[in-house]
Amino acid sequence: MGVIAATYVLFLIVLILADLSYTSPSEILTALKSEEIQYSIKLSLISCTITMILSLIVAIPLGYFMARYDFPFKKWIDAILDIPIILPPLVIGLSLLILFNQTVLKDFFDFFGVSVSFTVASVIIAQFTVACAFAIRTMYVTFAQINNRQEQVALTLGCNQRQTFFYVLLPQAKNGILTAGALAWARALGEFGPLLVFSGSTRMHTEVLSVSVYLEITTGKIEAAVAVSLIMIVSGFSVLLLVRLFGYNKTIL
Partner 1 sequence: MIECKDIHINQGNFSLSNFHFKAKNGAYVVIMGKTGCGKTTVLEAICGLRKIASGEVWLNDNEISKWTPAEREIGYVPQDGALFNTMTVAQNIGFALKIRKWEANKIEERVNELADTFGIKYLLERQAQDLSGGEKQRIALARALSFYPDVLCLDEPLSALDEDTKEGMFELLTELKNNMKITVLHVTHSKIEAQKLADVVLFVSDGKIKELNPSEL
Which residues of the shown chain bind partner 1 in the complex (CB under 8 A)? 147, 149-150, 152-160, 163, 167-168, 171-172, 174
Q: Is 137:176 a contact under the CB 8 Å cutoff?
A: no
Judge whether 123 and 43 are in contact, CB under 8 Å.
yes
Q: How far is the CB of 70 from partner 1 (least distance, A)?
A: 11
- Closest to partner 1 by CB, 219 vs 249, is 249
| Cα 86 to Cα 88: distance, rounded to the nearest angstrom | 7
- Shortest distance, position 115 Cβ to partner 1, whole Å: 46
**In terms of C-beta density within 10 A (0-12 exposed, 13-18 middle, 19 or more buried), how is residue 207 classed?**
buried
Q: Which one, 155 or 252, has the nearer CB to partner 1?
A: 155
C-beta closer to partner 1: residue 113 or 158: 158
Burial of 224 (0-12, 13-18, 19+ CB in 10 A): buried
Nearer to partner 1 (CB atom), residue 108 or residue 167: 167
For 178, which DSSP code? H
Shortest CB 6 distance to partner 1, Å: 34
The least CB distance from residue 233 to partner 1, in Å, is 34
